């Protein structure tokens, strides 16, 4: 799966180097946001 993602973004990254960094930052922020939301909702529902 990871190699597929690398191959998919490889073409875009070769054209615009900054895209990879931005995509990684967005992915990290989105994941932490989702995990934080799930944690908060689980704690509030208890």
The whole-model pTM stands at 0.53
Question: In a structure prediction context, what are the per-residue pLDDT tens digits for the chain, which is 46 residues long?
Answer: 455 555 555 665 566 667 778 888 999 999 999 999 999 998 887 7
What confidence score (pLDDT) does residue 35 get?
96
Contacts of 19 (CB under 8 A, 6+ apart): 9, 12, 13
**What's the CA gap between 37 and 46, in Å, rounded?**
14
């Amino acid at each position: 799966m990871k190699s597929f993602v690398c191959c998919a973004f490889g073409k875009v990254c070769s054209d615009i180097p900054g895209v990879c960094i931005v995509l990684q930052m967005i992915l990290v922020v989105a994941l932490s946001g989702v995990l934080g939301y799930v944690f908060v909702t689980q704690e509030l529902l208890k």
